[in-house]
């Protein structure tokens, strides 16, 4: 109040008011400039070099590199397995986040810490561990192999590996949102006669839907570019269990840099379009939830 009186008096006397307290961070122009510089250095310049290398190919060479039957089969496998793994992670990631937030039980902190294990574990180590576990003579695979359901060295192994590395993205995205959901709303819905499913459908789910979409997008993007944990368990059979990152690595080993960048550019374009659609759905969900509230 004293500051306001002093500013009013200074204005009335024609003297400039005292300057506002300095912010901890510098001004908008400097921070925006640094942000654009850092983003360009880390993201835009490498992606631009990828596109420039691709432009060195003629249209016929580009199409031959990105549309061969082997490459098309890898696209279908990579994006299909990534989509399936992300959908599975949405369901089970939500369930795991719900248990960690809503219940107290012995060993909860250990389970909470294990969720972050795929973040800290090197992808090659994860691939070797999953292969040893799911192979025909592994602890888990030996029970499924006699039933005609092999879990390793095929597409099943790829999906399992992508589920493993993508689960933390969904859990860590949904968990804080669930913690912030007001329980009074659930209690009010229960008092009004809503069932548990109706409470979840109309009260809880609209609050966590944007976080679920974000977790799905992050898990999907992580799975599309995964390489280390997949090559050990995939079998890497052309036209069957060969992922697109492995084709890119193969072209690089053959010194076909332009072909590798062409395939990578197609993956980049498809991933960008899919993430753009997911972000649009997320924004629509937020507007819809805000309108209903």
Q: What is the dihedral of CA 84, 86, 89, 94, to 10 degrees?
A: -120
Query: DSSP secondary structure string, 1-35?
Result: -HHHHHHHHHHHHTPPPPPPPPPSS--HHHHHHHH
Residue 20 pLDDT > 70? no
Alpha carbon 248 to chain centroid distance?
Answer: 21
Measured distance CA(164)–CA(143) in Å, rounded: 20
The distance from CA 39 to its chain's CA centroid, rounded to whole angstroms, is: 19
Q: Are 214 and 282 in contact (CB under 8 A)?
A: yes
Q: In this predicted model, which residue has the larger pLDDT, 83 or 42?
A: 83
Confidence of residue 175 (pLDDT cuts 50, 70, 90): very high
Residues 6+ apart with CB under 8 A from 190: 199
Q: 126 and 228 in contact (C-beta within 8 Å)? A: yes
**Cα 234 from Cα 154, distance rounded (Å):** 5
Q: Which residues contact 64 (CB under 8 A, 6 or more apart)?
A: none
Contact 58, 279 (CB under 8 A): no
List the one residue out of 234, 246, 79 whose CA is nearest residue 157. 234
Q: Cα separation of 262 and 51, whole Å?
A: 8
pLDDT of residue 11: 45
Segment 105-126, tens digit of pLDDT: 898 999 999 999 988 888 889 9
- More confidently predicted of 164 and 228: 164
| Whether the Cβ atoms of residue 254 and residue 189 lie closer than 8 Å to each other | no
What pTM did the predictor assign? 0.81
Residue 93 contacts residue 167 (beta carbons within 8 Å): yes
Rounded Cα distance, 202 and 193, in Å: 13
CB atoms within 10 A of CB 292: 8
State whether residue 243 is helix, strand or coil: coil
d(CA 202, CA 195): 10
**231-256 per-position pLDDT tens digit:** 999 888 888 889 999 999 999 999 99
What the chain holds in terms of domains, given with CATH numbers, is 66-292 (1.10.3720.10)
In the prediction, which pLDDT does 292 show?
59
């Amino acid at each position: 109040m004293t500051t306001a009186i002093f500013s009013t008096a200074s204005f009335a006397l024609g003297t400039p008011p005292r300057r506002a307290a300095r912010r901890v961070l510098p001004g908008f122009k400097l921070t925006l400039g640094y942000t654009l510089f850092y983003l360009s250095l880390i993201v835009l310049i490498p992606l631009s070099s990828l596109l420039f290398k691709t432009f060195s190919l003629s249209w016929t060479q580009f199409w031959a590199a990105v549309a061969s039957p082997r490459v098309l089969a890898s696209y279908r496998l990579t994006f299909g397995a990534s989509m399936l793994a992300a959908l599975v992670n949405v369901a089970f990631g939500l369930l795991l986040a719900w248990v960690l937030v809503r219940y107290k039980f012995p060993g909860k902190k250990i389970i909470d810490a294990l969720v972050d294990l795929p973040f800290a574990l090197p992808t090659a180590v994860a691939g070797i561990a999953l292969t040893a576990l799911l192979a025909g003579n592994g602890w888990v695979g030996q029970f499924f192999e006699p039933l005609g359901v092999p879990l390793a060295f095929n597409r099943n192994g790829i999906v399992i590996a992508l589920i493993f590395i993508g689960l933390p993205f969904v859990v860590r995205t949904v968990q804080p949102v669930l913690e912030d959901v007001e329980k009074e709303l659930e209690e009010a819905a229960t008092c009004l006669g809503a069932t548990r499913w109706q409470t979840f459908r109309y009260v809880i789910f609209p609050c966590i839907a944007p976080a679920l979409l974000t977790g799905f997008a992050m898990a999907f993007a992580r799975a599309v570019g995964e390489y280390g944990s997949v090559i050990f368990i995939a079998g890497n059979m052309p036209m069957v269990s060969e992922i697109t990152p492995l084709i890119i690595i193969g072209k690089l080993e053959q010194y076909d840099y332009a072909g590798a960048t062409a395939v990578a550019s197609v993956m980049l374009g498809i991933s960008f379009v899919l993430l753009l659609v997911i972000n649009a759905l997320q924004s629509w969900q937020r507007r819809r939830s805000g309108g209903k509230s």
